Amino acid sequence: MCFLLVEDMMAAGHDDKKKRPFLVRVGKALRPLFNALIARGSLVPNTPLLDNGLFPWAVALEKAAPLMQKEFQAIMAEREKIPPLRDLSPDHERIAPDSRWKSFFLYGYGIPVPENCAKAPVTAQLVAGIPGLCSALFSVLEPGGEIPPHKGVTKGMLNAHQGLGVPRDRDNCWIKVADHTLHWDDGRLFIFDDTYRHTVQNNTDEVRGILFIQFERPTRGLGWLMQRIFLGGVKKSAFVRDAQNNIERWNRIQAELEKV
C-alpha cells in the first residue's frame, strides 16, 4: 500500500540486465500520452501549486487539525514502531536512501490499514471522505533527512501536505516544487502536482511530521478514462502488492512484540 509513485517506479526493483514485465514496459511507453490527455481533461489547473479553495475538504482538515495533531503525537510517542519507507517499499530506495523517512499508513488506494486507522480514528474518518482518495499517511522525516529530487509518474493524482509536527526552525525545513519553496506550518495544508520535480530537506534537529495525502485529480472526458486505465494498472502491479504485503508483515511483527 505504499503509493508514493516516482519517476523511476517503472524501472525500480528490476536489474537492468533483466527484461522488465510487459505491464511495466507498456506503462512507461504510454505514460507521456496518458499524462497529456489527463492534463487536457483536468478540471483544475495544471500548475505546480493548486488553490485549496478548489477542494472543499481541505477546509475541514484544517479545522480538525488540533484533533489530528493529538493522534499524531500519540503515535509519535512510540515512533520507533513507525517503519522506514524503504522497508515498506524497497522500490523507493532511490528517494529514501536511509531510514530517516518513515511512513505510518492509514489508507492506500482507498484500502484502509485497519490497525493503523484504529490508532488515529479522527484522521482516518476525515481522509476517508476525500473524493478519489488514493493514500493517506503520517509522513515523518527525521532530523537531517532528505528526499532527493524526483517526479511523480502520473497527472492522475495530486498531493496534499498538512503540517502536524513542524520544527521550530521552519526556514530550514522545506519542500521545493518546481520553482516554489514551501515551508510547513502546524495545521495548514497545501496541494501540489508531484509530476513537477520536487525535493525535501529537514536541516533541523527536530522531526518533521505531516499528513501526506494522494488523491485523484478531478478530470472529465478522455482524461478521466486515461486516468482510470493508468491507475487501474498501477493497482494491479507488483509494486503495490509488495508494499501492501510489507505493511501487513510489519504490523504483524509489531503486534507480536507488544505481546512479549
Summarised one tens digit per residue, pLDDT across range 150-163 is 998 899 999 999 99
What is the pLDDT, as a whole number, of residue 87?
Answer: 75
Mean pLDDT of 220-248: 72
What is the pLDDT of the chain when averaged over all its residues? 83
What is the pLDDT, as a whole number, of residue 17?
Answer: 39
Q: Which of 12-26, 119-133, 244-258 has the highest mean pLDDT?
A: 119-133
Which range (11-15, 69-73, 85-89, 136-140) has the least confidence?
A: 11-15
Whole-angstrom distance, CA of residue 252 vs CA of residue 96: 23
Using 50, 70 and 90 to split pLDDT, how confident is the model at 16? very low
256 — phi, psi (to 5°)? -70, -40
pTM: 0.83
Distances 179 to 195, 196, 243, 249 between C-alpha atoms, Å: 13, 9, 31, 39
Using 50, 70 and 90 to split pLDDT, how confident is the model at 109? confident
- The DSSP code sequence of 68-124 is HHHHHHHHHTTGGGSPBHHHH-GGGTTT--STTEEEEEEEETTEE-HHHHTTSHHHH
